[in-house]
Amino acid sequence: MRRPRRKAEETKADILTAAEALLRKKGFAGFSIADLAAELQMSPANVFKHFQSKTVLADAICDRHTTRMIGRFDAKDDSVPAPARLGLVARRLMDAHLADIRDNPLFFEMLAMMASTDLPSGRHYRKLIEDLFESVVRHGFETGVYKSAPESTIGRSVAPCFAAVLHHVFLIHADEAELHARCDGLVELVNAALQSPLAK
Amino acid sequence: MRRPRRKAEETKADILTAAEALLRKKGFAGFSIADLAAELQMSPANVFKHFQSKTVLADAICDRHTTRMIGRFDAKDDSVPAPARLGLVARRLMDAHLADIRDNPLFFEMLAMMASTDLPSGRHYRKLIEDLFESVVRHGFETGVYKSAPESTIGRSVAPCFAAVLHHVFLIHADEAELHARCDGLVELVNAALQSPLAK
């Protein structure tokens, strides 16, 4: 029973890799499932067996891309105090998005399109970002630098605060120097809130 | 010399009002300048004399709408302490956007479309919102409730903090109860930051 299942997963991965390459070269609207199948020397029906639609395929590509990107943040580097770590995380996330825009506009266009829908990859991505900020707040709270617990109202509001430097609508036409200044300002504001003795 | 100029401004206002009515009924893509001219019993050339394109017309409609909306906030009610006022401003702004979405989706669609471009109405709107938050921060700073000045890094970061409850991309498909909770959380976080004795 195991063999065929493993093979199906390998085929799925092959399809994803070929689709991502096509997507980076031609954009989401620039290729069909038939083109992709031809590239892979398989029938379109076989592609559809693994991905029921082009949207499902795009969703899977986005999910793989963003999960890998967030995965690179998983440095459990507790040597950096939480306030500095908050700045590092926010800036690295923003820079990763800016690099996507710069290096591959067609691919980013699809990421942005998917993010504006209510597909699983978008929800998963938001969850990964929330978890990332939560882990910083938790570290700060545990080391006594932050007064707000991650599960407090203030703790839970940290991720939404950074929307203005992380969501694609704010990144696409923005001036990079201005974005960096905005990001630094948000980091300073959030750190002041989390460190405030008034915070519950 | 005065008469004709005043008349031109009246014609402009008439065109705007008729265009806004058409827009609310049919959406931006649902009418042409020719339809609008027919409605006003004037020639399309006369409409174009006042608005060089449909985009310029839409920009003017947006600007009038948002300026009026923000104008209603201009209650110089200094009796409410700044921290409570911050909550009122954020919630009222968010609710005004949600009312636009609910009451007139076609009109909101155009507002959202214009906001995602770099047209004067979008820039003006962002400036109005920034000024609104700045006036709250200034009031809090002057009354000694806030430790951060409006022109400090933290003071200038207040408006961007609320992007996640004010920008249309976060409002369109969101759950209203969740949005209200998120807004309350951001208000609490920003108030903690501004009141923090650590804040410069």
pLDDT tens, residue by residue, A99-149: 988 988 888 888 887 777 778 998 898 899 999 999 999 999 999 999 999
Sign of the alpha-carbon dihedral angle for B88, B94, B95, B97: positive
Residue B65: closest CA among B15, B26, B121, B109: B121
Q: Is the pLDDT of residue B200 over 60?
A: no
Looking at this predicted complex, what is its ipTM? Answer: 0.86
Q: Which residue of A has its CA nearest to B112?
A: A169
CB contact under 8 Å between A189 and B154, yes or no, is: yes
Q: What is the pLDDT of residues B41-70, one digit of tens each?
A: 999 999 999 999 999 999 999 999 989 888
Assess contact for B139 and B82: CB atoms under 8 A.
yes
Residue B190: closest CA among B152, B143, B137, B139: B137
Mean pLDDT, residues B190-198 taken together:
90
E strand or H helix at A119, and its extent? none
Q: What is the pLDDT of residues B139-179, one digit of tens each?
A: 999 999 999 999 999 999 999 999 999 988 888 878 999 99
**3 state SS of A117:** coil
From CA A175, how far away is CA A159, in angstroms rounded? 22
Give contacts of A190 with chain B, Cβ < 8 Å.
189, 193
Give contacts of A164 with chain B, Cβ < 8 Å.
160-161, 163-164
Residue A74 confidence (pLDDT): 63
- Total H helices, total E strands in chain B: 12, 0
CB contact under 8 Å between B189 and A164, yes or no, is: no
Domains of chain A and CATH, by start: 2-52 (1.10.10.60), 59-195 (1.10.357)
Sign of the alpha-carbon dihedral angle for B97, B98, B104, B107: positive
Angle value at C-alpha A170, between B190 and B138, nearest 5 degrees: 30
Read off the DSSP letter of residue B80: S
Residue A97: closest CA among A179, A32, A197, A11: A179
Give contacts of B190 with chain A, Cβ < 8 Å.
189, 193
Residue B146 confidence (pLDDT): 96
Q: What is the pLDDT of residues A18-49, one digit of tens each?
A: 999 999 899 888 999 999 999 999 999 999 99
Tell me the pLDDT band of A56, cut-offs 50, 70 and 90. Answer: very high
Residue A2 confidence (pLDDT): 52
Residue A133 confidence (pLDDT): 95
Smallest Cβ distance to A193: which of B156, B163, B193? B193
Mean pLDDT over all residues of chain B?
89
E strand or H helix at B152, and its extent? none
Q: Is the pLDDT of residue A153 over 70?
A: yes
Which chain B residues touch A if contact means CB-CB below 8 Å?
Answer: 116, 118, 148, 153-154, 156-158, 160-161, 163-165, 167, 169-170, 173, 182, 184-186, 188-190, 192-199
Q: Is the pLDDT of residue A76 over 70?
A: no
Residue A5 confidence (pLDDT): 64
Mean pLDDT, residues B181-200 taken together:
90
From CA B84, how far away is CA B76, in angstroms rounded? 14
Q: Which residue has the tokens 């019993």?
A: B41
Q: Which residue of B has its CA nearest to A159?
A: B164
Give contacts of A134 with chain B, Cβ < 8 Å.
none
Residue B50 confidence (pLDDT): 94
